[in-house]
Each structure stands twice: as structure tokens, then as C-alpha cells.
Amino acid sequence: MQTKFVISEEGREYVLGAVGRLWRRHKCIIENKHFSAYDNDNDRLEHAPESIPEQHFKELLEYWNLDIVQEESKKKQESSINQKDRHTMGPKTFARKEHELDKMKEVQMQNKLMEIKHIL
């Protein structure tokens, strides 16, 4: 990516994070539409995505069929089902968001104190 695009240092972290999120989402969509939707590799190959070369898709099928990958996928599905509260804040954790809110409250309090001092 670095040889194809010029990314400033200020935007580098954001761009790489966005590309990473989009790539994970794309892989998930491909897996759901072209792997999980079919029972065997012959059907999967018949309905392979046009955007992926056949040899690359065969390699993906080999990877998705590995026992360790299947076990990991099953664990993640079970964990997702058991979740009571879905995390809907994007990539930020609750702790990070709470910290940001505390900082905002602190700044608001400082601003109110400054207003009071100017009135007196």
C-alpha cells in the first residue's frame, strides 16, 4: 500500500485502521456468502466470487476448512450468541469512552469555575 499511495504521517494511523476494518469486513462477507452458505467445496467453487481468482479462492477454502480455524470460528459464534450487551461504539472500548467522557466533564467544570470567577 505504501508504494501505491502517498499517506501523510498525520493520516497514516487513521488510513491504515480504516483499511484494516474494511478488509476484515470484506473477508467476513466473502466467508458468509461463499463458504458458510454451502455444505461442500464443490458447491463453494461453483459459486465462487468473481472478484477473487480461482486459485486464491481455493487457498481460502483450504484455510477455512482447517480444524483449528473451524474451532476458532465456532468459539467466536458461541461467544457472540452469549453476549448480553453488544458493543456498538465501533473500535473504541467502553473504558476509553468513559475516560473521554470524564475528561469532557472535567473541562466543563473548569469552564464553569472560570465563568464564576469572572462574575465575582
Q: What pLDDT was estimated at residue 78?
A: 85
Give the residues of the chain that fall short of pLDDT 70.
1-2, 85-89
Q: What pLDDT was estimated at residue 95?
A: 84
Alpha helices in 32-66 (DSSP H): 41-46, 54-64
Q: What pLDDT was estimated at residue 119?
A: 78
Terminal Cα distance for the chain, rounded: 58
What does the mean pLDDT of the chain come to?
88
pTM of this prediction?
Answer: 0.58
Nearest by Cα to 64 from 95, 91, 30: 30
Q: What are the pLDDT digits (tens) for 3-16?
A: 788 888 999 999 99
Note whether 61 and 41 are within 8 A (CB).
yes
Q: Where are the domains of the chain?
A: 1-84, 91-120
